[in-house]
Structure 1
Amino acid sequence: MKKIGKKIGIVDSCVDTPEEIIIAAGFTPYRLFGDPTIESDKVNEHIPPTHCVWTRNLLELAINKLDKDIVGIVTTHGCDRTNREFDIWRECVDIDFMYFLNSPRKRDEIALNFFINDMNELITQLEDHFKVKITEDKLNEAIKKMNEIRKLLREISNYRSKAIITGSEFHGLVKNVQQLNKDKALDLLKSKQENLKIGNHF
């Protein structure tokens, strides 16, 4: 498979999905936010209206076809809805690769080892399915890139306290970064930061 421009969709109600693994596999991590403009139609056949609006909307979006460049889905343990609806995704959504990543709620050594084992399994399944090799060098490069992105976001966030940017502007930037190719995200953040330093608004 040619991976240029291909994405792995992320369904995560928190921030536990290791984007670095997806990047090291040659894909763009692409967080799914949903689409508030679409009606709940097909999803009603599978999920009662009492379920979370966000997860219902994501499933409706996926049943109606996601972005054509999304070639896989990683759902990370976050809430009861994302956990239980993963089985429905596997039955109803036309995507070959799906993985459920168990993110433990505890933060002790046993939980850490459990999470490491599950991330290693994600690596194995990505390698097997897409015929790629996720090396330590690729992981280190991806970690460095994501750390730089997070650092820039923290620095840009500080401009909110100076009333130079609004919370909604920063929120929009964060959402954009979570769907962009990470090299493009870095370029975007560096440009935004430079503009803020010289007093230009978004």
Structure 2
Amino acid sequence: MSNKKILMITGDFTEDYETMVPFQTLLTVGHRVDAVCPDKVSGDSVATAIHDFEGDQTYTEKRGHNFTLNATFAEIDPADYDALIIPGGRAPEYLRLNPAVLTMVRHFFETNKPVAAVCHGAQILSAAGVLKDRKCSAYPACMPEINQSGGIFTEIAIDAAITDGNLVTAPAWPAHPAWLSQFLALLK
């Protein structure tokens, strides 16, 4: 496997595991991952949130770690990257309002580069208009957005992932082994 340059778009209150685990895993196997957030520079950090499934009607949320960004959003050219990863959490809710984020995401679909999104990361994909006729898993609360954007919400087990072309998606962090395995297969 050749080393790839991967862009991670994240923001404040990104889900802790969905940010740290893929970031560290991809570095461990030799890839370069540039984590960026709009209006922040390399060395800044984003706050994370820990989402857990404790028997309530939805996930619970607790304050997580500070995650240090290692690249500057304003300096990013998506053409310099081989793949894109979008963590979930609350960050996608407001990142999808940023036109530069949506333009970057569209680049990866226009050039058919691998994209991995987990949980609420699908909100950014929906807003970017890249899901038409594509199977996409996400946290179930994202189903209306996926379907309304022309995507096909795919209900799978919380520890499963699905690949449709260049896109790998999963419902939440319990799917990391399947999600990251499928993403790594696309990076070969």
What interval of TM-score do these two structures reach, taking the shorter chain for normalisation? 0.3 to 0.5
Instruction: Look at both structures and tell me which one has the larger radius of gyration over its CA atoms.
Output: 1
Q: Which has the higher helix share?
A: 1
Judging by fraction of residues, say which structure has more strand. Answer: 2
The alignment's TM-score, normalised by the length of structure 2, stands at: 0.39
Higher relative contact order (CA closer than 8 Å, sequence separation 6+): 1
